[in-house]
């Protein structure tokens, strides 16, 4: 498996890292890139992430046998519409969006007879810093990658998508778009939402800056995801809002239980609730989904 030309639509952290990973694995001959921002295009080129600059998304995909759309999820619709007419019927088209039902709907609405080219993908990887300057050839190494294939994808197309991600070190799991969105509402979107809320709640207090100046390593790790890219997370929270709000309601209920035990001084109940959480978290291992899927 070697690709002649990767078209990268969106030259940010995720897309740039994918291009660098493919280059490092010698899986691609040429990378052309397009980003809405001229400055980003130039930066990606200067950093060697892309080998040529395209003037439009449609131009980028011409003759490309591999296309990665790495834009905030709300921009997927317009991007697909722009590239559909220029897309080669043999191309493998993927995205890296953190939500899948909305991206699949956008693809169905725009890709027409090129729909079978599109294998939706979501790498469970990232950094709290955005931008192509943080792109990293090893970002996807030892990370899980979710594919949510469409009924119209041929088996060969799905296998090809599988192989690309495995070749750059990812462990591939297949889900339906709906199960994907329910899963990541719980384990990713809600934690982000809560981290945003907690930081804002502290910072808005008169002594908030003083409080923050004394925070320790527990706070550092807990709140790292709050530094994520606002445009990316605006789109994710809007696209998956129903599932995220559902998970938030469940979290508030669990918080109620803990707070009731605190208010009423029920030490045993409180310890039990904490022990449940502590035990669950202590048993948890990153990437265990792969082992489960294989077993």
Determine the Cα–Cα distance for residues 21 and 49; give it in Å rounded to an integer. Answer: 10
Nearest CB to a copy of itself, comparing residues 61 and 146: 146
Q: How far is the CB of 24 from a copy of itself (least distance, A)?
A: 20
Helix axes 267-283, 241-263, angle to 10 degrees: 140
Query: 170 is written with which tokens?
Result: 């990812």
Of the candidate spans 9-17, 51-59, 106-114, 235-243, the one that interacts with a copy of itself by CB under 8 A turns out to be 235-243
- Look at residues 181, 185, 121 and name the one whose alpha carbon lies nearest to residue 150: 121
Examine residue 37 and tell whether it contacts a copy of itself (CB under 8 A).
no
The residues near 150 (Cβ < 8 Å, ≥ 6 apart) are: 104, 107, 115, 116, 118, 119, 120
Contact residue for a copy of itself among 143, 157, 170, 172 (CB under 8 A): 143
Contact residue for a copy of itself among 17, 144, 153, 243 (CB under 8 A): 144
Contact residue for a copy of itself among 126, 141, 158, 178 (CB under 8 A): 126
- b or e along 1-17 (b: 16 or more beta carbons within 10 Å of the residue's beta carbon)? eebebbbbbbbbbbbbb
Examine residue 244 and tell whether it contacts a copy of itself (CB under 8 A).
yes
Nearest CB to a copy of itself, comparing residues 58 and 96: 96
Determine the Cα–Cα distance for residues 149 and 180; give it in Å rounded to an integer. Answer: 11
Of the candidate spans 52-60, 63-71, 100-108, 245-253, the one that interacts with a copy of itself by CB under 8 A turns out to be 245-253
What torsion do the CA atoms of 222, 220, 145, 140 make, to the nearest 10 degrees? 180
Instruction: Identify residues 248-267 at the interface with a copy of itself (CB under 8 A).
Output: 248, 250-255, 257-259, 262-263, 265, 267
Nearest CB to a copy of itself, comparing residues 86 and 185: 185
Report the DSSP pairing between strands 121-123 and 144-147. antiparallel
Which residue reads 């729909």 in tokens?
115
Contact residue for a copy of itself among 26, 155, 210, 294 (CB under 8 A): 210
Contact residue for a copy of itself among 26, 156, 207, 294 (CB under 8 A): 207
Of the candidate spans 3-11, 56-64, 82-90, 209-217, the one that interacts with a copy of itself by CB under 8 A turns out to be 209-217
Which residue reads 């991007």 in tokens?
79
- Outline where DSSP puts E strands in 15-116: 28-34, 52-53, 66-69, 92-95
Nearest CB to a copy of itself, comparing residues 152 and 242: 242
Q: How far is the CB of 190 from a copy of itself (least distance, A)?
A: 7
One-character DSSP codes across 216-263: -HHHHHHHGGGGS-HHHHHHHHHHTHHHHHHHHHHHHHHHHHHHHHHH
Examine residue 124 and tell whether it contacts a copy of itself (CB under 8 A).
yes
Nearest CB to a copy of itself, comparing residues 27 and 251: 251
Examine residue 226 and tell whether it contacts a copy of itself (CB under 8 A).
yes
Nearest CB to a copy of itself, comparing residues 42 and 260: 260
Examine residue 46 and tell whether it contacts a copy of itself (CB under 8 A).
no
């Amino acid at each position: 498996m070697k690709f002649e030309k990767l078209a990268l639509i969106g030259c940010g952290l995720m897309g740039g890292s994918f291009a660098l990973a493919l280059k490092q694995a010698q899986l691609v001959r040429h990378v052309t890139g397009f980003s809405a921002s001229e400055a980003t295009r130039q930066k990606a080129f200067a950093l060697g992430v892309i080998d040529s600059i395209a003037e439009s998304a449609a131009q980028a995909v011409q003759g490309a046998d591999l296309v990665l759309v790495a834009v905030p999820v709300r921009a997927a619709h317009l991007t697909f519409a722009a590239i559909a007419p220029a897309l080669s019927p043999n191309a493998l088209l993927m995205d890296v969006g953190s939500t899948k039902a909305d991206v699949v709907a956008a693809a169905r609405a725009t890709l027409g007879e090129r729909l079978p080219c599109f294998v939706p993908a979501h790498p469970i990887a990232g950094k709290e810093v955005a931008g192509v300057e943080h792109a990293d050839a090893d970002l996807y190494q030892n990370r899980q990658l979710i594919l949510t294939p469409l009924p119209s994808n041929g088996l060969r197309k799905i296998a090809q998508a599988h192989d690309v991600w495995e070749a750059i070190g990812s462990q591939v799991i297949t889900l339906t778009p709906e199960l994907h969105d329910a899963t990541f509402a719980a384990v990713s979107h809600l934690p982000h939402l809560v981290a945003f809320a907690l930081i804002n709640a502290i910072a808005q207090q008169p002594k908030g800056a003083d409080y923050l100046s004394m925070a320790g390593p527990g706070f550092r790790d807990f709140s790292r995801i709050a530094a994520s890219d606002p445009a990316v997370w605006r789109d994710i929270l809007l696209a998956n809002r129903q599932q995220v709000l559902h998970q938030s309601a469940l979290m508030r209920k669990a918080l109620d239980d803990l707070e009731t035990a605190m208010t009423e001084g029920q030490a045993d109940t409180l310890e039990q609730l904490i022990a449940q959480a502590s035990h669950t978290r202590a048993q948890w291992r990153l990437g265990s989904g792969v082992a489960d899927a294989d077993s």
